[in-house]
Amino acid sequence: MIRKVLMLTVALMLIAGGTISAQSGQGYEEALACVLEQLPAEVYSTNEFIPTEEELASIEPLKETVHIRVGMPWILNDEEAPFYNAVELGFYAEEGLVVELVPGGPGRDHMQSLGAGAVDITVQAAGSSIPIARISPTPINTVAVGTLLKIGQYTYLTTNPDLLGRGLTPADLVGSTISTQQGGGVYTQILMDQLGLDFSSVTIEDTAGFGPDVLMTDPPQADFYTGWIANQPRALEAAGLPWNYIRYGEWGPNEYTDVIAVSDEMLGTEEGREIVRRFMRATYRGLQYLVDNPEESAEIASEYGVEAELTVEQALWRFNIQEEQNMITGTDGMPLMYMDPEVWNSYMAVLLQYEQIEMDCE
């Protein structure tokens, strides 16, 4: 109960402008006002293409089949299960679409691919990359049309014996060593500043890769490793290591992940909008099928996830974690894929406050 009360307090502080010791000295309210003026969520996100029950009940294919290329957020593994479902179960075909899933992963930036016209749709692992692309020196103007995961996966993982077997809070980060990816230390600073914890007590080692290797030695090389809760813990369990976690979005600003985005240009024509509408409807059905039928979805994912050594049991492990954490369905009481503009604006305001993005606020 104490944890849930603190979570609520943190969320309210973020929305209401709680005290954060920003690197720039800029207050949250000032940063939020700048975001709302210069780059409000309505500019780069919309829920218009999330299908209604009426739309889901009446599907007729396009008169002529359309082939589209969709850039995936990572390598072809079980993360992309909703898309596999939509392909395998014929949801795209019923719309008159042939969908080619283009793998993502290291060295494959599908935001750039979308900007160059190499893909028609992109799925961004970090939702913030969509508004950030708009304000980059070489802007790529895209619009988020739905999120597969409403609750962010960024997590502090630990195998430290002293931290196992109990509920952890950000207070457990005090005095710890955290292994993170390059530039990741600022997110720990944001979290600890928000909660009034001593960030200077933390040792940040920002050379971590995509695997939790630092946690798999005896003793562990770090107290915490930052990864995604539905990814790296699977490797820990495969090695027979018990683990525990602090999920960032439970205590700090939440970021939408695996967000579907299309170009402004595509939404500028009726033909393009119709393709987006049909793609979203079929993908929504694939996502709903995953929620309703995890076992069957795991079977499909094990066949389609060709870039990973993937078993049905491993896929089902991921799906169970996603369900336990309410990642797909969220806690907002809204339909699948729905995005709250306040979540977008709050996250971008914190990034601006901590000088992770630049914006003309004068």
Domain carrying residue 53: 46-152+255-338
Q: 323 and 199, same structural domain? A: no
Note whether residue 249 is domain-resident.
no
Note whether residue 250 is domain-resident.
no
Non-local (6+) Cβ contacts of 158 within 8 A are: 164, 168, 215, 220, 223, 224, 225, 243, 244, 245
Q: 218 and 122, same structural domain? A: no
Q: What distances in angstroms separate CA 127 from CA 24, 73, 360, one per listed residue? A: 23, 10, 22
Residue with tokens 């800029």: 26
Q: 130 and 188, same structural domain? A: no
Other CB atoms within 10 Å distance of the CB of residue 234? 17
344 and 41 in contact (C-beta within 8 Å)? Answer: yes
Q: Count the domains in the chain.
A: 3
Q: What is the pLDDT along the chain (362 residues), one digit of tens a residue?
A: 223 323 333 333 333 333 334 455 579 999 999 999 999 999 999 999 999 999 999 999 999 999 999 999 999 999 999 999 999 999 999 999 999 999 999 889 999 999 999 999 999 999 999 999 999 999 999 999 999 999 999 999 999 999 999 999 999 999 999 999 999 999 999 999 999 999 999 999 999 998 999 999 999 999 999 999 999 999 999 999 999 999 999 999 999 999 999 999 999 999 999 999 999 999 999 999 999 999 999 999 999 999 998 999 999 999 999 999 999 999 999 999 999 999 999 999 999 999 999 998 87
Q: 183 and 331, same structural domain? A: no
Cis peptide before 341 (omega within 30 of 0): no
Query: H or E segment at 42?
Result: helix 41-44
Q: 260 and 122, same structural domain? A: yes
Q: 260 and 229, same structural domain? A: no
Other CB atoms within 10 Å distance of the CB of residue 182? 9
Q: Distance between CA 33 and CA 15 in Å, rounded? A: 12
SS3 of 135-147: CCCCCCCEEEEEE
Non-local (6+) Cβ contacts of 87 within 8 A are: 99, 101, 286, 304
